Amino acid sequence: MYNLGYFRMPDPVGLKDDKDWLEIPRISKTIPFGYEEHKKDDKLLVPIVEELEALELAKEYLNEYSYREVAGWLSERTGREISHVGLRKRVQTERQRKS
């Protein structure tokens, strides 16, 4: 369990191992959470599976907790910083693209 102040979130259990994350083209200077720059081609971004799976779990936590709390948990879990504003923008963009 992760203790972040006054609430506790469970450890990620049962993350799907069959998810196939793909490389994406780099379209801006900023590298999105869950990706890193390709070692040979700077126009591609390589997925970081652990971060992307934690992000999927974090989206489920947003039904119960605030963006600030979930962003803190996500940063602690992955070791890569993400602000509550950055998390909110990422989630909203993904929702827009699905519809």
Domain boundaries, the chain: 2-98
Q: Are 62 and 91 in contact (CB under 8 A)?
A: yes
* pLDDT (tens place) for every residue of the chain, 99 residues total: 445 555 555 544 444 455 678 888 999 999 999 999 999 999 999 999 999 999 999 999 999 999 999 999 999 999 999 999 999 999 999 888 887
Beta strands in 1-99 (DSSP E): 2-3, 8-9, 24-25, 35-37, 44-47
Contacts of 80 (CB under 8 A, 6+ apart): 33, 51
Give the pLDDT of residue 20: 77
Distance CA 23, CA 39 (A): 12
The whole-angstrom separation of Cα 5 and Cα 44 is: 38
**Residue 31 DSSP one-character state:** P
Which pTM does this prediction carry? 0.77
